[in-house]
A and B are shown apart, each in its own frame.
Chain A
């Protein structure tokens, strides 16, 4: 089955720099693989079987991430960058998918770093989709997909084409070593420009930053553990939590 994996398309919130005036800078921050991207790769491999996997990404980071994990070739929109409003990024990724009309399944990480990216790609591609996916395999109907909803696991059959947003249940096992990465850099890489794909620029614009007006936590000094606990329990009892 022909599958694509979308990877390294979001920014790690940890990398954001909050300046003294409260504005946020992403200067110098490269797009990063989320905790869910390896799960997306694993699911793509399970679906593809012996067929090749196409990797799709944006940004100026190392594009060999997916190739080092088994993707046969990579499509990269190098001059695109993750934006706070995700519709343009979704449109760019959807345009990349359409360049490979044989594709039947697109898998990406279902990361809370930016849930909007997943929704945007699903909408821009217009394919049926499932999120929170933990496993998938080929089935007579198309795919057999497992996803976690709260504490329940659902098994579904789905027709293709379909978009699957993968949620990691565990950290990546056996990530590729430097030798795999160096070999992956020799695999085919198709570099595109955003202008080649012609998605409309987002009309949304950031107009300001501010600190949340939510009350700060009441912090208790724990140097004297007994006194700190007495103070905490009194506060919790006053709130009706005990």
Chain B
């Protein structure tokens, strides 16, 4: 996101709403300045939205970029309205041409990029690759304490189950192509051979009850970033893909060569998962 912002030229300022540790992590990156709204522990980041929007008017940026995290999108909306900025989601890159910002966004399930020319400021929800941009020097940080707001966190419940999925280096995900719960045993054998955790799509949990809620990966459930993600019998619905897009290497196994997942993965085997999964286990052993 930082690299994308740099493509427009000029100063790049990080607006951070959260604890001190979050601002410290931003200091490791090559921002020119950091403005840190240091919110009290019992407040959500969204309490800063109006204040960040007001600051955006003073700073008058050409573009505001946010991740698709829930808090970031709320704050972006307020900043966009304050700046009377165009607002676009699924954005992969920004460029400047003839005095306008060209916003490139993924459309048609990521098959195509749509270039949108914006004459004024642009507020975008970034959906591209993140690259390391380490800082040569630590950026100056302005800290603004936030101690009250119209919202308050009264309880935080960490899921007891499924925590291993979030930190697993290797994950095997299964979709409706699994066919039946009995076929899970072959996936479990592969997971053992690969030292991997098992994830699934939403219908595998909700409709079929083959796996539990804490196994679900997707925009409405867990987002994971393993080194290796193997998607077996998964078509590639947007909900699921947004939960695994930070995986370093994605492998898809699907018998439909036109399956959407093949547009998203690094490696794909076009074949029957019921043959490929046991063969992969055997090859690993």
Query: Is A bound to B?
Result: yes
Interface residues, chain A, CB within 8 Å of chain B?
13-14, 16-18, 22-24, 35-36, 84-87, 90, 110, 112-124, 126, 128-132, 141, 144, 147-159, 162, 165, 167-171, 202-212, 217-223, 225-226, 228-230, 232-233, 235-236, 239, 241-242
Instruction: Please choose the segment from B7-15, B23-31, B137-145, B276-284 that sits at the chain A interface, where 4 or more of its residues have CB less than 8 A away.
Output: B276-284
By a CB distance below 8 angstroms, the chain A residues around B163 are: 151
By a CB distance below 8 angstroms, the chain A residues around B253 are: 222
Are A228 and B74 in touch, CB under 8 angstroms? no
Are A220 and B267 in touch, CB under 8 angstroms? yes
- Cα–Cα distance between A170 and B120 once the two chains are bound (Å): 40
**Interface magnitude class on chain B:** 35 or more
Are B249 and A236 in touch, CB under 8 angstroms? yes
- Cα–Cα distance between A128 and B110 once the two chains are bound (Å): 31
Are B279 and A219 in touch, CB under 8 angstroms? no
- Cα–Cα distance between A37 and B74 once the two chains are bound (Å): 18
Residue of B nearest to A113 (CB): B238
B200 to chain A, nearest CB (A): 14
By a CB distance below 8 angstroms, the chain B residues around A123 are: 53, 76-82, 87
Q: Kindly count the residue-residue contacts between A and B in the assembled complex, taking CB atoms under 8 Å apart.
A: 289
Sample (25) of A-B pairs whose CB atoms are under 8 Å apart: A13-B109, A87-B80, A90-B77, A115-B73, A119-B125, A122-B73, A122-B77, A123-B77, A126-B78, A126-B81, A129-B49, A150-B222, A153-B159, A155-B156, A158-B152, A159-B150, A169-B221, A204-B86, A205-B116, A217-B252, A219-B257, A226-B283, A229-B279, A241-B227, A241-B228
Are B107 and A84 in touch, CB under 8 angstroms? yes
By a CB distance below 8 angstroms, the chain B residues around A152 are: 156-159
Are B207 and A204 in touch, CB under 8 angstroms? no
Interface residues, chain B, CB within 8 Å of chain A?
44, 46-47, 49-50, 53, 68, 70-71, 73-74, 76-82, 84-90, 92, 102-103, 105-120, 123, 125, 150-159, 162-163, 165-166, 202-203, 206-207, 213-214, 219-223, 227-228, 238-239, 242, 248-249, 251-253, 255, 257, 262-272, 275-276, 278-280, 282-284
Are A217 and B159 in touch, CB under 8 angstroms? no
Are B70 and A147 in touch, CB under 8 angstroms? yes
Are B276 and A129 in touch, CB under 8 angstroms? no
- Cα–Cα distance between A162 and B223 once the two chains are bound (Å): 26
- Cα–Cα distance between A121 and B90 once the two chains are bound (Å): 17
A42 to chain B, nearest CB (A): 14
Q: Binding site of A, secondary structure by majority: helix, strand, loop or mixed?
A: mixed
Are A22 and B267 in touch, CB under 8 angstroms? no
Q: Are A228 and B107 also in contact (CB < 8 A) when A87-B85, A120-B77, A233-B283 are?
A: no
By a CB distance below 8 angstroms, the chain A residues around B87 are: 85-87, 90, 116, 119-120, 123
By a CB distance below 8 angstroms, the chain B residues around A156 are: 44, 151-154
Residue of A nearest to B206 (CB): A170
Are B73 and A154 in touch, CB under 8 angstroms? no
Residue in contact with B270 in the complex, picked from A35, A129, A141, A219, CB distance below 8 Å? A219
Residue from A84, A152, A223 with most neighbouring chain B CB atoms (10 Å)? A84
Residue in contact with A16 in the complex, picked from B50, B105, B109, B150, CB distance below 8 Å? B109
Are B270 and A221 in touch, CB under 8 angstroms? yes
- Cα–Cα distance between A165 and B255 once the two chains are bound (Å): 36
Residue of B nearest to A130 (CB): B46
By a CB distance below 8 angstroms, the chain B residues around A85 are: 86-88, 116, 118
Are B111 and A18 in touch, CB under 8 angstroms? yes
Residue of B nearest to A225 (CB): B279
Residue in contact with A24 in the complex, picked from B47, B114, B153, CB distance below 8 Å? B114
A-B contacts besides A24-B108, A151-B222, A220-B267, 5 pairs, CB < 8 Å: A16-B107, A132-B70, A209-B107, A210-B112, A236-B267
Residue of A nearest to B255 (CB): A222
By a CB distance below 8 angstroms, the chain B residues around A151 are: 158-159, 162-163, 165-166, 214, 222
By a CB distance below 8 angstroms, the chain A residues around B275 are: 222, 225
Are A222 and B206 in touch, CB under 8 angstroms? no
A152 to chain B, nearest CB (A): 5
By a CB distance below 8 angstroms, the chain B residues around A84 are: 88, 105, 107, 114, 116
- Cα–Cα distance between A223 and B112 once the two chains are bound (Å): 30
Q: Are A236 and B228 also in contact (CB < 8 A) when A116-B87, A119-B74, A211-B112 are?
A: yes
Q: Are A204 and B228 also in contact (CB < 8 A) when A128-B46, A130-B151, A217-B263 are?
A: no
Are B114 and A158 in touch, CB under 8 angstroms? no
By a CB distance below 8 angstroms, the chain A residues around B262 are: 217, 219
- Cα–Cα distance between A221 and B107 once the two chains are bound (Å): 28
